[in-house]
Chains A and B, each alone.
Chain A
Amino acid sequence: MLEKPPVIKPYRWHLGSIAWILHRITGLLLVFYLLLHIWVTHHVTEGPEGFNKVMSVVQQPIFLLLEIGLLVTVLYHAFNGLRIIIVEFADNGAGAHKTLFGIMMAIAGILFLVGGIPMFMHFLHVLNK
Chain B
Amino acid sequence: MAEYVFKIFRYDPEKDETGRVQEYRIDVQPGWTVLDALNYIKWFVDGTLSYRRACRHGICGSCGMTINGKNGLACETQIKDLGTTVITVEPLRGFPVIKDLIVDMEPLYDKLYAIKPYLITKTPPPTDKERLQSPEDRAKLDGKYECILCGCCTSSCPTYWADKNFLGPNALLKAARFLFDSRDEGYEERVSVIDDKHGVWRCHTIFNCVEACPKELNPTQAIVDLRKLILRGKL
Show the binding face of A for B, using Cβ within 8 Å: 1-3, 5-12, 14-17, 20, 84, 87-89, 92-95, 97
Query: Of A3, A12, A95, which one neighbours B221 at CB under 8 angstroms?
Result: A95
Q: How near does chain A come to B33, taking the closest CB pair, in angstroms?
A: 19
Q: Contact: A11 with B13, CB < 8 Å?
A: no
> Is there contact, CB below 8 Å, between B207 and A7?
no
Closest to B7 in A: A8
Which residue of chain B has the shortest Cβ distance to A92 in the bound complex? B221
A6-B18, A16-B208, A89-B228 known; A11-B156 Cβ under 8 A = yes
Q: What residues of chain B lie closer than 8 Å to A7, measured between beta carbons? A: 90, 93
Q: Is the CB of B69 within 8 A of A12?
A: yes
Give the docked Cα–Cα distance between A87 and B51 (Å): 37
| B contacts with A: majority SS | mixed
Contact with A along B199-233 (1 / 0, CB 8 A): 00000111110110000001011011001100000
* B66 contacts chain A at the CB level, 8 A cutoff: yes
A84-B69 contact, Cβ under 8 Å, with A5-B93, A7-B93: no
Please give, as numbers and ranges, the residues of chain B lying within 8 Å of A88 by CB-CB distance: 205, 224, 227-228
Chain A residues whose C-beta falls within 8 Å of the C-beta of B211 in the assembled complex:
12, 14, 16
Is the CB of B21 closer than 8 A to any CB of chain A?
yes
B98 part of interface (Cβ distance < 8 Å): yes
B205 x A9 contact (CB < 8 A): no
Chain A nearest CB, measured from B89 CB (Å): 9
> Which chain A residues border B228 with CB–CB below 8 Å?
88-89
Query: A95 to chain B: which residues have CB within 8 Å?
Result: 218, 221
Do A9 and B90 contact each other (CB < 8 Å), given the known contacts A1-B104, A89-B228, A94-B218?
Answer: yes
B183 at the interface (CB under 8 A from A): no
**29 CB-based A-B contacts, threshold 8 Å:** A1-B104, A2-B18, A3-B96, A5-B9, A5-B90, A5-B93, A6-B19, A7-B90, A7-B93, A9-B66, A9-B69, A10-B69, A11-B66, A11-B208, A12-B68, A12-B70, A14-B208, A14-B211, A15-B207, A16-B208, A17-B208, A88-B205, A88-B224, A88-B227, A93-B221, A93-B224, A94-B210, A97-B205, A97-B220
Residues of B within 8 A of A17 (CB): 158, 206-208
- Asked if B151 lies at the interface with its beta carbon under 8 angstroms from chain A, I say no
Give chain A residues whose Cβ lies under 8 Å from the Cβ of B210: 16, 94
Partner of A9, one of B68, B91, B96, B208: B68
Chain B residues in 8 Å Cβ range of A11: 66, 69-70, 93, 156, 158, 208
